[in-house]
């Protein structure tokens, strides 16, 4: 069977997320337990998490999480990394042997700082430099796959049910202010660890439930700007789109949301003149980044989360609050596990972004 | 509520009723009918004899006409008008008061004082339904009929009875048939068709004396007959008008609003002498369409509306044994005549000062109304239009702009 | 010299049991095929004059007529077809270049028909266009590489001029002269009602149609007919015509007989003079010359109107398009080899150029590979025949399509392919006032609007099936296409997988 | 009320309206059967004058002179439509004499006939307009 990247694999999913607006620590068991009631939304072929604020001691270093097929690949990859980065620390990611998770690859993490001289010669900033490195490894180095590359954050994913993946990675031992989770229901994957979600680039991560119909339009557009959609997954292309719009074009989250889940022209035309002008501009300039077909995503970055549905709301997604915490999940049941007394349960409308910033963005 | 009184129950009366009702739905209308019939069309009496219509179908308006128009119909003969008291007295002494009076008294046959006429057993005039019914009783397959008068009435009578009698002779002092509407050449065509159908003519000749079943002609000839029909002419019924002090010439003089010279009295139909736009002066135009339109105009004005009928022209459509003839307007001596012969027919247009003033069509009368309207409207025509008009009657005579109004607008 | 007799191509079959001798066929045939014989009391036909335009068939009130292909054949020969042989006879008779009209009729591959469209099942939902909004609006024009903000951090929303279309279809260039006033009126009115554009072609813009300017693309072709300031200013966009799919590499020739009255005035050339469009623009012998013309036109229109460059699909189209995309043009229009024409040498029409499907796929990919796809919008034409073709073109990467033949068919054209005769019985490809009036623009525009409304509905249905609710998400979405019966090479050029993959 | 209107700009002079009219009023269901090898008596006629063509049929005048002129009282205007009672008509053709459009003509029996908008035949709406290939004849409110 072909794995992700060789063929486009549709899948259904479960997603969940929690964030503390005050930036308070939340342990990983909170999020992986929330996936249990949504067990049937996954099929054991992929589960994963993104956690923010988990590496405070290395918060200024890029944290690479990498799967290796083989020891020799690790050596080769490490050599390449060292050509471009100062590797401050490299270690195995601690895991727990459990019967539900098997056939694991070699899983390492590296805390690195870009070599300024190399970076200067490429005339790019550290983010672009790091992103290029990730693309290079993932497209050209067979058997090595970088699945996390942000600062003070990390993705953890595996083939298996998400609640088991959480136990496998000992997530209860990590404390972060924001977590997202994903359980996957792919229809024809052999089960490749790299194909599990979240998908991330730098500190951006995406968990996504849906199957977008605009995929190839989006992919062929975004690939003009140096991105390579090696996995052929929605999550990958959405991550790149957001990276392009937010980091490269400098759009705000709200603006980016109105590109990828653009309001209908009839809605735009009913807006006040200034708003109308802006929305028309965004749809005119970035028509190929409109995403159609069902999706519910939670986009994570250092300092916040954004939940967004496709403009027709073809996938379920609810949000709720309790004190400083905001919860997001495909089903209310997941939220009730995290916080039985959650309040202000809300189903965001299609195309309506729900944006939560830690400490109102002054994080 | 206004009291409208109409003397007469013919076409003009119907026009008058409908004219009043178009303006005043409520006023009281009284109609005095000399004939004890529902309103019928007098020109149909020959068609009745011919079998082309029935008494039933001859009704000019549906059975419920009076009812629907809320008209009080009285059979009787009006004999006296009192303009001071504004009343009309009937033969039976009944007095009817009016606010507005319309005289639609029509005309009656003119019978010259022939010597020995009283010796003729079967003699008829041909004007009313009763005339027609009386004549019908006298008809038989071997009867010899002498008709005095080769005008419209005489000839229609001839056509109507042709299949029901043995022979018909028509005499007229004029040298041609239909002398009032046709010139000699056109008349000859019509005469020919009549002759083909067994009718004989003695033209330029007329009866001067009768003895039983024999007529003695001016020329000295003698004609034996069984039935005599007198169709010499008609006279407007103006007696009441005279009483009312209306100005009367050949008919009751009316303006283009159908008022007589006496206040509150109107006149319409064959009794009236209205404006003939083809000659620019008043004259009696005893034709049915004219009667209706005058009646309608009178009715509207009686009811306080304002209607003007100022474009009456003489016109006739008549046919004998399948040969049709249409005429309209006047035929001034100094008009240019454009002539076209057609198969068994003829077309003559009389053009003067860039206008069509009259025409005669024998045979093909298709779209004759286009010509009639040119006469009626006195339409000014340029050379191109005149050339087009000479070809045949069509809307091509008009400019594209005028045509688009006619065919693309509400008319 | 007596010419060789060539048996007529068509036969007129009249059902005498149905013919009522109303003579409509006689009155409506400008080729004078039908005639009433008063002595015989029947209608008779001169079949040698018949071009099979079907006007008589269409108007015969009792359906007593049909036109059939003559079965008088030469001895069968797989190499020497009847048509080939008859063309030789014609040329031997006349010594002339053979002329034809409309698009290439040869049985060359139609790739649209070898491409199939996807639909959603289970893993994501099809969308019902009757229930959900379904958007077809597109903006054609150059898109900025980078957004800009003002001092307050607000987006600066000014961008290069865009052509807004309610659906990704435009009526392509057909000149006034090659088609009639009423055909132009129909196209202009329909485009306006539909919120799309029509194209003047190279014959100028009749003064009556300036009112439709916001829905008009004006063309500047090698003959520069009718080009002046007001003409450029009236338009929504200006198109430089470099070539035409039906006759790449050659110009045009409208005979002086058609340069009469309004046509002469609109083209700004004397009555009766032949209108010759040179093969090249004589001020464009290279790509840098094109750039100068593009900017001349932009200067003339104060950078307020997008400039389209139209080229025929030829072998090196991807590189040509890349050059155009860098020339300052806002839109590239590519015309495939099946595109129509009012007159073209038969040999050129039938043998020059390449299919639009392949040209489109390679151009779209090339511009993406070079990262300049956003510099230009891509409009393709050359036999887009249905809503399915539109959907396939957009999924291959087109921003919009140009249709002309389909529009003419809606106006009554029966593809008899004798436009060059000027005796179009349907009032389209003619300047004879008696024939021109046969096309009532009230009906013509209504039929065009109907056709496009129908296509719009179908496009929405197809999009809905794919789970796509806006045309933007279809553009370049080649995953929605699969090939059938295509070689690896064809699939790779089209950038699509084979059905079943 | 809806009437038949003619725009000569679009009339091709094909005369189809005459045949459609004759067929519509024939009471038959097959046109060939109704019209083949017979003289036709349409209630609309096309006038051809050089390159100008236009069809003429009853205008259903606001103030119809034919109604006023009919000697038999056979013509009436009902709900805006001018109609001829063929039973009452005696064929005197006074209506032909007065109609300024030439829109009345004798039918096969000699009785006058004219367009009655196909309201009472099986078409239900004017066959001339429905069959006009160029919308030169329309049936609409103006």
User: A115-150: per-residue pLDDT in tens?
Assistant: 999 999 999 999 999 999 999 999 899 899 999 999
Strands (E), B225-371: 227-230, 234-236, 252-253, 265-267, 272-276, 281-283, 315-320, 323-329, 336-342, 345-352, 355-362
User: What are the per-10-residue average pLDDT scores of chain D (142 residues)?
Assistant: 94 96 94 94 94 96 95 94 94 96 94 95 93 96 91
For residue C25, the chain D residue with the least C-alpha distance is D14
Beta bridge pairs of residue C83: none
Whether residue C163 contacts residue C198, with contact meaning beta carbons closer than 8 Å, is answered with no
Residue A277 located in a structural domain: no
DSSP 3-state assignment of C237?
strand
Contact between residue A49 and residue A198 where contact means Cβ atoms under 8 Å apart? yes
Residues 38-97 of chain D whose Cβ lies under 8 A from any Cβ of chain B: 47, 49, 52, 54-56, 59, 61-62, 65, 68-69, 71-73, 87-88, 90-97
Which domain, by its residues, includes A125?
A: 56-151
CB contact under 8 A, C470 and A290: yes
H or E stretch covering A126:
helix A126-140
Q: C237-241 and C216-220: which strand pairing?
A: parallel
- Does residue A23 have a pLDDT over 70? yes
Residue B313 CA to its chain's centroid (Å): 12
* Set of chain A residues whose Cβ sits within 8 Å of the Cβ of C146: 249
Nearest-neighbour CA in chain A from C188: distance (Å) = 25
Residue in chain C closest to D36 (alpha carbons) equals: C20
Share of chain A above pLDDT 70, in %: 97
CA dist D64 and D62 (Å) reads 6
DSSP state string for A29-95:
HHHHHHTGGGGGG--SS-EEEEEES--GGGTTSEEEEEEESSHHHHHHHHHHHHHHEEEEEEEEPP-
Pairing type for strands A199-201 and A204-210 reads antiparallel
Domains of chain B by range and CATH? 3-106+235-302 (3.50.50.60), 117-232 (3.50.50.60), 322-408 (3.30.390.30)
Is 90 exceeded by the pLDDT of residue C182? yes
Distance CA C147, CA C150 (A): 10
pLDDT in tens, B41-67: 999 999 999 999 999 999 999 999 999
Domain assignment present for residue A107? The answer is yes
**pLDDT at residue B342 tops 90:** no
Check whether A18 has a pLDDT greater than 90: yes
Q: Check residue A210 and give its pLDDT.
A: 86
Is A121 part of a structural domain of the chain? Answer: yes
Tokens read off for B252: 């009751």
| Whether the predicted pLDDT of B68 surpasses 70 | yes
Q: Which domains does chain D have, with CATH numbers?
A: 2-57+115-141 (3.30.70.20)
User: Does a structural domain hold residue A126?
Assistant: yes
Report residue B205 as tokens. 């000749």
The answer to whether C437 contacts D9, with C-beta atoms less than 8 Å apart, is yes
Q: What is the CATH number of the domain that holds A117?
A: 3.30.70.260
DSSP, collapsed to helix, strand or coil, labels residue A3 as coil
How far B97 CA sits from the closest chain D CA (Å)? 29
Give CA separation, B373 vs A259, B358, D96, in Å.
72, 10, 11
Residue C1 has pLDDT above 80, yes or no: no
DSSP A246: I
Closest CB from A250, A288, A294 relative to C124: A294
C462-495 pLDDT per residue, tens: 999 999 999 999 999 999 999 999 999 999 999 9
Residue C133 to residue A10, Cβ atoms within 8 A: no
Instruction: Name the closest residue on chain C to residue A223, using Cα atoms.
Output: C368
pLDDT bracket for residue A188 (50, 70, 90): low
Comparing alpha-carbon positions, the chain C residue that sits nearest to D16 is C24
Quote the pLDDT of residue C124. Answer: 84
The answer to whether residue A142 is domain-embedded is yes
> Is B406 an 8 Å CB contact of chain D?
yes
Q: Long-range contacts made by residues C70-79, C-beta under 8 angstroms, separation at least 24?
A: C70/C7, C70/C8, C70/C9, C70/C10, C70/C11, C72/C7
- The predicted-structure confidence for A248-286, as pLDDT tens digits, reads as follows 999 999 999 999 999 999 999 999 999 999 999 999 999
The predicted pLDDT at position C149 comes to 95
How confident is the model at residue C358, as a pLDDT?
98
Q: Please, are residues C94 and C413 in contact by the beta-carbon 8 Å criterion? A: no
* pLDDT at residue C252 in the model: 85
Band of pLDDT at residue B255, cut at 50, 70 and 90? very high
- B280 touching chain D per CB within 8 A: no
D32:C24 CB<8 A: no
Phi first, then psi: what are they for A87, rounded to 5°? -85, 105
Any residues with CB less than 8 A from the CB of C12 and at least 6 apart, and which? C33, C34, C45, C47, C50, C56, C65, C66, C67
Which pLDDT belongs to residue A1?
66
Model confidence band, residue C123 (pLDDT cutoffs 50, 70, 90):
confident
Whether the CB of C266 is below 8 Å from some CB of chain D: the reply is no
Interface of A with C in 230-259 (CB under 8 A): 249-251, 255
In the structure encoding, which two tokens stand for residue B290, read together? 């004219």
Eight-state DSSP code of residue A152: S
Verify B-C touch: 3 or more CB pairs within 8 A: no
Q: What is the pLDDT of residue A211?
A: 87
Token output for C439: 């096309």
What are chain C's domains? 10-96 (3.30.70.20), 138-146+167-474 (3.20.20.70)
Residue carrying the six token digits 């049910």: A161
CA-to-CA distance for C269 and C276, rounded, in angstroms?
11
Radius of gyration of chain D (CA): 15
C311-339 pLDDT tens trace: 999 999 999 999 999 999 999 999 999 99
Domain count, chain A: 1
- Residues C22-38 have pLDDT tens digits of 999 999 999 999 999 99
Q: Note the pLDDT of residue C378.
A: 98
Distance CA C98, CA C347 (A): 7
A296 near C CB under 8 A? no
Asked whether residue B97 carries a pLDDT value surpassing 80, the answer given is yes
D48: nearest CA partner in chain C? C27
ipTM: 0.86
> Which of A13, A77, A112, A229 is flagged as catalytic?
A13
Upper half-sphere CA count for residue C64 (Cβ side, 13 Å)? 24
Confidence of residue A189 (pLDDT cuts 50, 70, 90): low
Q: Per the CB < 8 Å rule, is D12 touching C18?
A: no
Given the structure tokens 């335009």, which residue do they identify? C53
| Contact (CB, 8 A) for C484 and C372 | no
Confidence of residue A185 (pLDDT cuts 50, 70, 90): confident
For Cα atoms B398, B404, B405, give the angle at the middle one, nearest 5 degrees.
95
Q: Where are the beta strands (DSSP E) in C107-176?
A: 115-117, 138-140, 163-165, 169-171
CA B215 to chain CA mean position, Å: 28
The pLDDT score that the predictor gives to residue A260 is 95
Please provide the average confidence, as pLDDT, over all residues in chain A.
93
Question: For residues B361 and B350, is the Cβ–Cβ distance under 8 A?
Answer: no
- At A190, is the pLDDT very low, low, confident or very high (cuts 50, 70, 90)? low
Phi, psi values for residue A256, rounded to 5°: -65, -40
- Is A77 tagged catalytic? no
Helices (H), C345-487: 346-351, 356-369, 387-396, 405-411, 433-436, 441-465
Regarding beta strands C400-403 and C169-171, do their DSSP bridges make them parallel or antiparallel, or are they unpaired?
Answer: parallel
The DSSP H or E segment spanning B389 is: helix B383-391
**What pLDDT does residue C257 have?**
80
Counting as contact any 3 or more CB pairs under 8 A, the partners of D are B, C
Answer with the residue of higher pLDDT: C455 or A103: C455
Task: Find, in chain C, the residue whose alpha carbon is nearest to that of A287.
Answer: C472
Whether the per-residue pLDDT at B242 is higher than 70: the answer is yes
**Integer Cα distance of C474 and B244 in angstroms:** 94
Are C443 and D134 inside 8 Å of each other by CB?
yes
Kindly determine whether residue D54 and residue B403, on different chains, have CB atoms separated by under 8 Å: yes
Residue among D47, D68, D97 whose CB faces B369 most closely? D97
Neighbour tally for A92: CB within 10 Å? 9
Q: Helix A215-222 and helix A234-242: axis angle, to 10°?
A: 50
User: CB distance A11–C123 less than 8 Å?
Assistant: yes
Angstrom distance (rounded) from CA C306 to CA C330: 5
Q: Which residues 193-222 of C have a C-beta within 8 angstroms of D? A: none
Report chain D residues whose CB lies below 8 A from the CB of B288: 69, 71, 94
pLDDT at C137 over 90: yes
Contacts of B41 in chain D (CB under 8 A): 71-73
Q: How far is D89 from chain C (nearest CA, A)?
A: 29
For residue A281, tell me if it sits in a domain.
Answer: no
Q: Are D36 and C23 within 8 A, CB to CB? A: no
Per DSSP, the three-state class of C70 is coil
Question: Which among D47, D52, D97 has the least Cβ separation from residue B368?
Answer: D97
- Both tokens of C249, joined, read 């590499």
- Whether A160 maps to a domain, the answer reads no
Partner residues linked to D54 by β-bridges: D47
Cβ–Cβ contact C28 with D under 8 A: yes
Query: Per residue in B103-120, pLDDT tens?
Result: 999 999 999 999 999 999
| Cβ contact C127–A250 (<8 Å) | no
Radius of gyration of chain A (CA): 19
Assigned token pair, B64: 């419920």
For B20, phi then psi, to 5°, come to -60, -45
Say whether D15 and C19 touch across the interface (CB within 8 A).
no
């Amino acid at each position: 069977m072909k794995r992700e990247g060789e063929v486009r694999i549709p899948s259904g999913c479960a997603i969940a997320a929690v964030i503390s607006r005050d930036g308070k620590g939340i342990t990983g068991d909170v999020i992986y337990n929330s996936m249990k009631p949504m067990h049937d939304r996954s099929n054991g072929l992929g589960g994963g998490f993104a956690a923010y604020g988990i590496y405070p001691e290395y918060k200024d270093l890029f944290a690479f999480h990498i799967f290796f097929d083989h020891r020799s690949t690790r050596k080769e990859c490490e050599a390449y990394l060292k050509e471009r980065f100062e590797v401050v620390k490299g270690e195995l990611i601690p895991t727990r042997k459990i019967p539900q998770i098997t056939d694991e690859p070699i899983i390492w993490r590296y805390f690195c700082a870009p070599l300024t001289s190399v970076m200067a010669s490429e005339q790019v900033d550290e983010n672009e430099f790091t992103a290029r490195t990730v693309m290079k490894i993932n497209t050209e180095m067979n058997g090595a796959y970088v699945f996390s590359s942000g600062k003070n954050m990390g993705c953890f994913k595996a083939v298996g049910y998400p609640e088991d993946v959480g136990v496998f990675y000992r997530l209860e031992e990590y404390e972060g202010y924001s977590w997202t989770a994903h359980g996957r229901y792919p229809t024809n994957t052999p089960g490749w660890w790299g194909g599990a979600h979240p998908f991330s680039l730098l500190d951006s991560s995406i968990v996504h439930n849906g199957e977008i119909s605009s995929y190839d339009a989006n992919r062929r557009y975004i690939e003009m700007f140096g991105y390579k959609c090696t996995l052929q997954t929605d999550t990958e292309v959405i991550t790149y789109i957001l990276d392009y719009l937010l980091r490269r074009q400098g759009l705000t989250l709200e603006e980016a949301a109105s590109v990828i889940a653009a309001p209908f022209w009839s809605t735009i035309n009913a807006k006040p003149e200034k708003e109308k002008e802006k929305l028309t501009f965004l749809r005119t300039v970035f028509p190929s980044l409109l995403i159609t077909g069902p999706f519910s995503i939670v986009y994570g970055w250092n300092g916040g989360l954004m939940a967004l549905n496709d403009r027709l709301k073809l996938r379920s997604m609810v949000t709720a609050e309790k004190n400083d915490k905001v919860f997001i999940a495909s089903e209310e049941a997941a939220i009730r596990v995290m916080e039985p007394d959650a309040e202000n349960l809300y189903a965001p409308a299609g195309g309506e972004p729900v944006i939560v910033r830690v400490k109102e963005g002054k994080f | 509520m206004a009291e409208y009184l109409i003397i007469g129950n013919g076409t003009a009366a119907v026009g008058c009723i409908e004219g009043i009702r178009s303006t005043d739905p409520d006023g009281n209308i009284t109609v005095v009918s000399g004939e004890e019939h529902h309103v019928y069309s007098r020109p149909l009496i020959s068609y009745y004899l011919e079998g082309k219509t029935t008494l039933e179908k001859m009704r000019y308006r549906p059975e419920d006409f009076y009812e629907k128009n809320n008209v009080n119909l009285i059979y009787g003969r009006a004999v006296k008008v009192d303009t001071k008291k504004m009343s009309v007295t009937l033969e039976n002494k009944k007095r009817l008061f009016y606010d507005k009076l319309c005289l639609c008294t029509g005309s009656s046959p003119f019978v010259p004082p022939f010597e020995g006429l009283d010796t003729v057993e079967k003699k008829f005039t041909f004007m009313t339904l009763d005339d027609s019914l009386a004549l019908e009783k006298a008809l038989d397959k071997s009867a010899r009929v002498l008709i005095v008068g080769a005008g419209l009435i005489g000839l229609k009578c001839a056509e109507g009875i042709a299949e029901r009698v043995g022979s018909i002779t028509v005499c007229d002092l004029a040298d041609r048939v239909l002398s009032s509407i046709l010139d000699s050449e056109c008349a000859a065509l019509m005469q020919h068709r009549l002759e083909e159908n067994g009718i004989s003519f003695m033209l330029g000749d007329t009866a001067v004396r009768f003895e039983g079943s024999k007529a003695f002609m001016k020329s000295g000839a003698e004609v034996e007959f069984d039935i005599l029909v007198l169709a010499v002419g008609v006279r407007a019924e103006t007696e009441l008008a005279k009483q009312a002090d209306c100005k009367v010439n050949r008919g009751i003089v009316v303006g283009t609003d159908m008022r007589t010279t006496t206040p509150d009295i109107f006149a319409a139909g064959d009794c009236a002498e209205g404006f003939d736009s083809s000659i620019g002066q008043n004259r009696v135009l005893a034709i049915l369409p004219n009667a209706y339109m005058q009646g309608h105009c009178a009715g509207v004005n009686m009811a306080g509306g304002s209607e003007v009928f100022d474009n009456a022209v003489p016109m006739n459509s008549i046919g004998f044994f399948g040969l049709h003839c249409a005429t309209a307007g006047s035929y001034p001596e100094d008009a240019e005549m454009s002539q076209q012969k057609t198969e068994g027919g003829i077309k003559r247009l009389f053009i003067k000062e860039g206008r069509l003033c009259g025409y005669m069509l024998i045979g093909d009368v298709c779209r004759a109304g286009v010509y009639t309207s040119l006469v009626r409207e006195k339409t000014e025509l340029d050379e191109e239009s005149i050339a087009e008009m000479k070809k045949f009657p069509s809307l091509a005579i008009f400019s594209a702009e005028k045509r688009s109004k006619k065919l693309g607008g509400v008319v | 010299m007596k010419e060789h007799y060539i048996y007529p191509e068509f036969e007129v079959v009249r059902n005498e049991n149905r013919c009522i001798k109303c003579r409509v066929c006689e009155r409506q045939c400008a080729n004078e095929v039908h005639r009433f014989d008063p002595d015989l009391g029947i209608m008779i036909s001169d079949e040698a004059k018949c071009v099979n335009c079907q006007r008589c068939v269409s108007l015969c009130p009792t359906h007593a007529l049909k036109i059939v292909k003559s079965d008088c054949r030469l001895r069968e020969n797989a190499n020497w077809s009847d048509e080939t042989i008859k063309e030789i006879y014609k040329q031997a008779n006349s010594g002339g270049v053979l002329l034809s009209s409309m698009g290439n009729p040869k049985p060359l591959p139609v790739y649209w028909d070898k491409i199939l469209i996807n639909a959603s099942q289970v893993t994501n939902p099809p969308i019902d266009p009757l229930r959900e909004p379904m958007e077809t609006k597109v903006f054609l024009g150059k898109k900025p590489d980078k957004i800009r903000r003002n001092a307050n951090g607000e987006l600066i929303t000014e961008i290069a001029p865009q052509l807004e279309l309610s659906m990704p279809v435009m009526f392509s260039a057909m000149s006034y002269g090659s088609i009639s006033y009423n055909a132009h009126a129909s196209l202009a009115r329909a485009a306006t009602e539909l919120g799309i554009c029509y194209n003047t072609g190279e014959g100028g813009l009749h003064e009556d149609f300036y009112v439709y300017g916001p829905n008009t693309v004006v063309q500047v072709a090698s003959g520069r007919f009718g080009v002046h300031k007001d003409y450029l200013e009236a338009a929504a966009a200006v198109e430089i015509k470099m070539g035409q799919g039906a006759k790449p590499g050659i110009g045009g020739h409208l005979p002086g007989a058609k340069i009469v009255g309004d046509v002469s005035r609109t083209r700004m050339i004397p009555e009766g003079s032949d209108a010759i469009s040179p093969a090249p623009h004589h001020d464009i012998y290279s790509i840098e010359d094109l750039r100068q013309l593009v900017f001349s036109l932009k200067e003339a229109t104060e950078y307020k109107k997008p400039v389209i460059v139209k080229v025929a699909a030829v072998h090196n189209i991807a590189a040509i398009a890349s050059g155009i995309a860098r020339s300052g043009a806002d839109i590239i229009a590519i015309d495939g080899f099946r595109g129509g024409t009012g007159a073209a040498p038969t040999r050129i029409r039938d043998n020059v150029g390449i299919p639009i499907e392949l040209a489109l796929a390679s151009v779209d990919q090339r511009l993406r590979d070079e990262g300049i796809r956003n510099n230009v919008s891509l409009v393709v034409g050359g036999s887009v025949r249905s809503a399915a073709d539109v959907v396939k073109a957009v999924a291959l990467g087109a921003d919009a399509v140009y249709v002309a033949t389909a529009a003419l068919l809606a106006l009554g054209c029966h593809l008899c392919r004798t436009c060059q005769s000027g005796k179009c019985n349907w009032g389209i490809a003619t300047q004879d006032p008696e024939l021109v009036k046969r096309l009532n623009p009230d009906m013509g525009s209504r039929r065009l609007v109907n056709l496009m409304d129908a296509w719009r509905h179908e496009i929405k249905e197809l999009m809905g099936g794919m789970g796509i609710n806006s045309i933007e998400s279809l553009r370049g979405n080649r995953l929605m296409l699969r090939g059938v019966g295509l070689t690896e090479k064809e699939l790779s050029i089209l950038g699509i997988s084979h059905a079943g993959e | 009320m809806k009437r038949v209107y003619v725009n000569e700009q679009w009339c091709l002079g094909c005369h189809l309206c005459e045949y459609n009219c004759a067929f519509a009023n024939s009471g038959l269901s097959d046109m060939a059967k109704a019209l083949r090898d017979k003289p036709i008596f349409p209630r609309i006629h096309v006038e051809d004058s050089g390159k100008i063509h236009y069809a003429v049929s009853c205008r259903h005048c606001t103030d119809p002179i034919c109604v006023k002129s009919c000697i038999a009282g056979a013509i009436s205007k009902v709900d805006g439509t001018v109609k001829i009672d063929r039973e009452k008509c005696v064929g005197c053709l006074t209506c032909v004499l007065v109609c300024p459009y030439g829109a009345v003509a004798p039918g096969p029996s000699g009785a006058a006939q004219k367009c009655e908008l196909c309201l009472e035949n099986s078409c239900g709406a004017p066959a001339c307009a429905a069959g006009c290939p160029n919308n030169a004849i329309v049936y609409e409110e103006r």
